[in-house]
Structure 1
């Protein structure tokens, strides 16, 4: 009994100081200041708590290695060959599985899996900044000091995984615009499909609009001019894509990212389609998009993840397919209501603009600014029509005109 007691005391003396420091850093000391260590120093309880907190500590500092890739199983699957000196990040068995690497990758950096593991602390939970329909996104710092966003595919099935990876990186690699998220590089080692992007320090528009209770109001949240500016940035990015024959198919506030200079950028091309030269539309099986941001009837399940319709009906995809989604984003910014709360009755109503504005934000001062917001609401509702008589170029023009009144 005495031996067990001494062991407990020894463990607490070794672990608790560092664990308290760790959690104090992670939480800003908010709840640790109220946590009395002495209240949990009871035998079994203390050991259980230490075990749990040790796990968190290891995850935070990267001392618990993620399970290493099983070389034997990978070799059997034809995905790795440790003895092949040519099996670098640009060569490996991706060529056997899915054909030659896309030519668009030639201008991008090829990262090793080890580089990206080091950058993200083995894809630590503490480094995870988001999760989409095709994988998780991690914040990482490369050996040269650059901060990047690392998107790691979690698509099940080799064929589907490679198809999604190839489609996304080919589409985004050839999209060079200040308002489109820049892709930096990739990794195709073993069974991994990873895309590396520039890091967006201000996260996404959704996070700025719908703050958690403990979060500080950002400049994007507090300023009408900044809200219109971010809409304009996103509109310019989307207009650029449409001019290149690219239909995004998953425009939503979480996919509009904001960098450290408060520049908005379109991201997440996992469902994008590239129209053939000379074509203005294409028919595909089923629909695609996120509930609340696509036309009613296309999806019924409320989820922030993109979904592909299960039906096999042919759906026409063209540049106007993105307009409904962009109109919803415009209304989110103006009203402060989440996409699924923008009811049909509200969208069809002729309510005065001052009755539907985001009540958390001071109303624009001056009739000209109120009229500008009212005009943007009208444009947003035009986007929601079955056959909108507008395009992204015209929408960009409307946003530019509105912004001049707020600067």
Structure 2
């Protein structure tokens, strides 16, 4: 068979110097390729500072293509979305906000009723909101956070698909109440407040790293058919400080009337910024008034400023309560609720309570056995919510121990992508 080179088994196993060099190069490039793939989302987000709108649109689509392997949400086509909403028919329009419109839809095949949010194609901010929301809601799961079912990134279209919340938003039932609609009763208001606070508690204390919601307001609290609240619209959410950091510095964004004063002045964001915003919404629930209402006299247009002097006089507490309640609430419960709101609205952030302490107080206030409307309405009860807030933290610890293991697993997954989410900002 001609000349051949015969090698021993040891010689056959031992690579030459040239082969070793080639092998090292292959391993190096494979590792680099894998590393680059893992950081493509970060690099693409950084490139979104380009001025070209067309370039930003293409980059956003590419980001989602690369990230789709890690994102559990379903990817829809624009054709599917058009079919689900009957070509975005105005009869299916559920609402309209700063970033786009929300339509009622029905998915073909499963016939599942969904909410379809079509973002405004005009702006850079819409792209950022879309990306942050997809990442956040794909990694964070809790009964008081709205569930993201999928998204569409066809061409210039940016669409988010959520579970349908049949009762709409808290704003619809509290601030934009139709004349023939029955107002929320006291216990339902406390139930909504407690559930929304639990959503914030998950973001602040279970998610790792913590998440600052940054846009807590009545229109972003959605209600299911039993008035259970779920936080929605995570486009402005921001990863909170970790390690020795006390805050994150960012552009001041959110809704006027709900922003914490220290955040509005300095851009320094903490979880206590969310606690302040919660206090504003809780005050809206108690009073039935908007955070900012330009139809009222000048001194009453800002809800917090109007309520501050009333917090100091127990005799005026009843005047603060929503007149649509028609006095059907426990006086003691009203005192305690106003005290919780006042503590959340402290000017100094460090004095505000942790949201977990607020949850304890609100679970007490939402309990019909202790705060039902049948309770006598004339006891000489002091506004002692501060004692309610700090009482028996063991109750909170028991609640936390009941959280499913998958929540902590999801938090770990969320932590592993901290850099990607931070860079979207």
TM class, shorter-chain normalised?
Answer: 0.5 to 0.7
Change (3 A) 1:149 1:224: same
Contact 1:153 1:194 in 2 (8 A): yes
How high is the TM-score relative to the length of structure 2?
A: 0.65
Classify the secondary structure of the residue corresponding to 1:226: helix
Q: Does 1:317 align with 2:280?
A: no
Task: State the 1:194 CA deviation.
Answer: 1.1
Counterpart for residue 272 of structure 1: 237
Query: Is 2:260 aligned against 1:291?
Result: no
How far apart in 1 are the matches of 2:115 and 2:160?
Answer: 8
Query: Is residue 282–residue 316 contact of structure 1 (8 Å, CA) maintained in 2?
Result: yes
1:79 is displaced (CA, Å) by 10
Q: TM-score, normalised by structure 1?
A: 0.68
Is 1:376 paired with 2:376?
A: no
TM-superposed deviation, 1:162: 3.3
Greater helix share, 1 or 2? 2
Matched, 1:326 2:278: yes
2:116 equivalent in structure 1: 150
Distance 1:233 1:318 in 2: 21
Contact 2:78 2:152 (8 Å CA) reproduced: yes
What is the match of residue 236 of structure 1?
198
Secondary structure of 1:196's counterpart equals strand
SS of 2:201's partner is helix
In structure 2, do the counterparts of structure 1 residues 381 and 314 end up closer, same or farther at CA, with 3 Å as the change threshold? Answer: closer
Q: CA deviation at 1:260?
A: 1.5
- Relative distance call for 1:274 and 1:101 in structure 2 (3 A) is farther
What's the C-alpha RMSD, in Å, of the aligned pairs? 2.6
Q: Cα–Cα, structure 1 residues 347 and 103, in superposed 2: closer, same or farther, change >3 Å?
A: farther
Counterparts of 1:280 and 1:364, CA distance in 2 = 46
- In 2, Cα distance between the equivalents of 1:183 and 1:363? 39
Which sections of structure 1, spanning at least 5 residues, go unmatched?
1-76, 81-92, 300-312
Match of 1:395 in 2: 358
Q: Partners in 1 of 2:85 and 2:244 — Cα distance?
A: 41
Q: Match for residue 357 of structure 1? A: 321
Aligned twin of 2:391: none
Call closer, same or farther: CA 1:231–1:280 in 2, change over 3 Å: farther
Within 2, Cα distance between the matches of 1:373 and 1:145?
44
Q: Deviations over 1:257-286 (max 9, x none)?
A: 101132111111111001365365443343
CA distance in 1, matches of 2:229, 2:248: 30
1:227 alignment partner in structure 2: 189
Residue of structure 2 equivalent to 1:188: 153
CA contact (8 A) 2:145 2:199 kept: yes
> 2 CA distance for matches of 1:101 and 1:110?
13
Corresponding residue for 2:102? 137
Cα offset, 1:121, TM superposition = 1.3
3-state SS of 2:313 partner: coil
Match of 1:348 among 309, 316, 323: 309
Out of 336, 339, 358, the position equivalent to 2:291 is: 339
The answer as to whether partners of 1:335 and 1:356 remain within 8 angstroms in 2 is yes
Cα deviation, residue 171, structure 1:
1.1
When Rg is computed on C-alpha atoms for both structures, the one with the higher figure is: 2
The answer to whether the 8 Å contact 2:173/2:184 transfers is no
